[in-house]
Structure 1
């Protein structure tokens, strides 16, 4: 058994136990107090039958109990599946059912009990707030640690299995790449149900003996106040947050002297925005690239430079990245092709989906579905996406899922959803709908029908009623044509 992995030193530390570790808007815990609370949660989970390979769902907002519940599951050699607190009931049922969740730690117990699935429900308000012992971790590197759900191109969310070994290498590679120090202090603002927040904002500072401060949600003034009050050394955010900060009146007059770096990822960002934000913050803003199936990041601009705006940087230590043509042949510098990733951060696979896993991982190489090219210095630039995924403010949205929701209305004959450019969010979904003859339906009625099945951010920003959808020569809907229309609408 292994008990010496990265941030699990949270409870294996022999010094600095009374140093601050994690705090949110209402709770502050030292390393010792955090470890003791993990043990208290673990006892409760074990009392409900949680053991090796069982799944514990954590449906909480950004608060220290989220971190506690995840590590409590790991201490029992169980699997944690982070759950978006605002999932629609159908989405929530799918994740809990597909993962065979045994216990849910939640802020919304009544909503869970109303579902057709029946896991044990633990109301976080009734869970312990202190503990008196330290857990003993007994996991192995190849145990699944996280089961992170990401929508597939068919619209069915898939469970990405990430092992402790995946997380260990991801965290160590990030720490080496950004030259993380023991006094690191992360201001965590991204939602913890994303692997980005777990790896970059939680496990990274934990692995070097640092600390983190959690914000429940992003609000510009609150975020700027938190920087001046808590004095973090870094934060990780999506382009939409950086765009908002750059447009916040008076931001350039705030004191950012505590910050060493800011990390930008999860969605493409323009060179102009990076330059603008760097000017406001006065620190390096480094853009990275990765996906859940690769345990967060695979490339990143080095904070120590040189930083090449417009690129997503160089491969992280121990991770291999190549660009290939349609036949799988590696392309030379300057030639665009599909980006593929290999190394110890590649996922274990999609839960219960061997065929999808085999289609995605080929001879140890992960197909990303993204098109990119390397320059002579080894910096990767993303050119386009093979898949139709829409990235709205760092959230991955899949058109098929939105189309399926719209199609539940009886007036809809067919529909197509594409991404339209947006100044703040990067992209927003827009829909083109063909209705049945002699039927009438309004945009509001379609949105109401979809709202019952998908979360708010997935709702189309606009619905255009058309007589027919464009099609390519083989009869498939011509989405590139629709994207061109959406770009000028």
Structure 2
């Protein structure tokens, strides 16, 4: 296929009545999906959308969002998805920053917006169809906004070549084909949800079902009903599923694998999930600036829990020191990435782009090393490192020790300010359901594996940890909560 934008047209020609896309409300075969895309493109064209414009979409997970994505591409326009529960100010910032031509929401939301039912709803009648625009590889396809952990969110510009390359890499690595059926549970305002769970299976000839709001207690009911072959999630979701009542024994036989990304997953949590639900977890690593994924534990094996796997085909992943020299196996440094998946840059921010992409290398801000087998081990985020009295402490090392305790479900460690030492580690811990945890016992557990300088000065027991919109633990909020120690 020449480009991703042609998926609806090609699938409709190839197998008109074959299943394509579904959500909680309706199911579309290939012909009806292509028809809805053409109708939405005609509506967008009537509202002035042309090649090079940006269409902003602020919707919860539903198939109309995917229809609008392809309708915009049909016209040569780009799409920026907005988190559906954004405040007016957050949405207005993103819309203004990318100079969106139109905004599509459900019911307006106080914005000068088109209603989704009038653009991509089932009742929209197609007028004279607008011919598809020929799309160049370097045409912008998506503008994905970072979660803004450092200042204002930045728009990550991904072109059609980025998206096509990423899909091809995922299809090869995960072995996707026409028999695959993805269940989307991650948000569609993030590149993982769009690329891993929608575009890749559709390009491979498979199908996708978009789940509504995630609920751990009803999730496996959805799996039993939909019968997907895989889904992609974040560690928090797997932790919630493991925490379900022990007597729950769902039928997971349709699943050949499940994918984990967004944040490193503790080896103990992987083991708990795989032992209980009898489905292999394929853990990967990547970032929006790299169109989603850069390493993955090979589904065909060997998979090595505690690592994030090996580089995807077509990508070079390396570890670099502060002087720009590449390091050998076992040496720690910043993880850097090269490949056709690396973003074009940050929208309207040439200085930030130049700091992030240097000599073709995408600088991730993550510290890691390659083991003797060529598997990447993530140590931590550079900015999360705690400097205690001049000694560097990586929170992830402490978190891994805490996760090894059988009564710990989740753990997060951040630095708290200290008058003398600068910073000291503080831990926030969520217990397994029904388990009783005592901070002193956990501290004793840590003391077996960690040097004294790395021991948390406080362990706070909590019912849940704060998260950002993608599901990662929000360490900025935890740091803000940390009183001077």
Task: Give the TM-score category using the shorter length.
Answer: 0.7 to 0.9
Tell me, yes or no, if the aligned pair for 2:45 and 2:130 is still in contact at 8 Å. no
Change (3 A) 1:372 1:208: same
| Separation in 1, partners of 2:270, 2:218 | 22
| Separation in 2, partners of 1:169, 1:32 | 26
The one of 175, 178, 186 equivalent to 1:179 is 175
The one of 305, 311, 334 equivalent to 1:309 is 305
Aligned-residue Cα RMSD (Å) equals 2.7
Tell me, yes or no, if the aligned pair for 2:5 and 2:70 is still in contact at 8 Å. no
The one of 314, 334, 340 equivalent to 1:318 is 314
| Separation in 2, partners of 1:68, 1:232 | 21
**2:241 paired residue number:** 245
Change (3 A) 1:148 1:461: same
**Alignment coverage as a number of residue pairs:** 407
Tell me, yes or no, if the aligned pair for 1:35 and 1:135 is still in contact at 8 Å. no
| Separation in 2, partners of 1:364, 1:251 | 52
**2:68 paired residue number:** 69
TM-score normalised by structure 1 residue count: 0.78
* Pairs within 5 Å for 1:200-239: 200-239=196-235
Tell me, yes or no, if the aligned pair for 2:41 and 2:130 is still in contact at 8 Å. no
**1:361 paired residue number:** 357
**2:377 paired residue number:** 381
**2:260 paired residue number:** 264
Q: Higher relative CO (CA 8 A, sep ≥ 6), structure 1 or 2?
A: 1
State the shift of 1:332 in Å: 0.6
**1:11 paired residue number:** 9
Residue 129 (1) aligns with residue 122 (2): yes
| Separation in 1, partners of 2:327, 2:280 | 31
TM-score normalised by structure 2 residue count: 0.79
Comparing 6-15 with 300-309, greater Cα deviation is found at 6-15
Tell me, yes or no, if the aligned pair for 2:256 and 2:280 is still in contact at 8 Å. yes
Residue 298 (1) aligns with residue 290 (2): no
| Separation in 2, partners of 1:202, 1:263 | 14
Change (3 A) 1:148 1:111: same
Change (3 A) 1:332 1:41: same
The one of 271, 275, 281 equivalent to 1:275 is 271
Partner secondary structure for residue 330 of structure 1: coil
Change (3 A) 1:218 1:151: closer
State the shift of 1:136 in Å: 2.7
State the shift of 1:48 in Å: 0.8
| Separation in 2, partners of 1:318, 1:462 | 38
| Separation in 2, partners of 1:279, 1:295 | 31
**1:434 paired residue number:** none
Tell me, yes or no, if the aligned pair for 1:7 and 1:206 is still in contact at 8 Å. no
**2:155 paired residue number:** 159
| Separation in 2, partners of 1:421, 1:260 | 34
Tell me, yes or no, if the aligned pair for 2:5 and 2:74 is still in contact at 8 Å. no
State the shift of 1:363 in Å: 1.0
State the shift of 1:423 in Å: 3.8
**Per-residue CA distance 1:278-316 (angstroms, 9 max, x = gap):** 112212101100000000000010111100000000000
Comparing 189-198 with 152-161, greater Cα deviation is found at 152-161
Tell me, yes or no, if the aligned pair for 2:4 and 2:160 is still in contact at 8 Å. no
Residue 53 (1) aligns with residue 64 (2): no
Change (3 A) 1:364 1:135: same
| Separation in 2, partners of 1:367, 1:283 | 33
**1:92 paired residue number:** 91
Tell me, yes or no, if the aligned pair for 2:42 and 2:130 is still in contact at 8 Å. no
State the shift of 1:236 in Å: 0.2
State the shift of 1:269 in Å: 1.1
| Separation in 1, partners of 2:247, 2:200 | 27
- List runs of 5+ in structure 2 lacking aligned partners: 386-394, 397-413, 415-422, 433-470
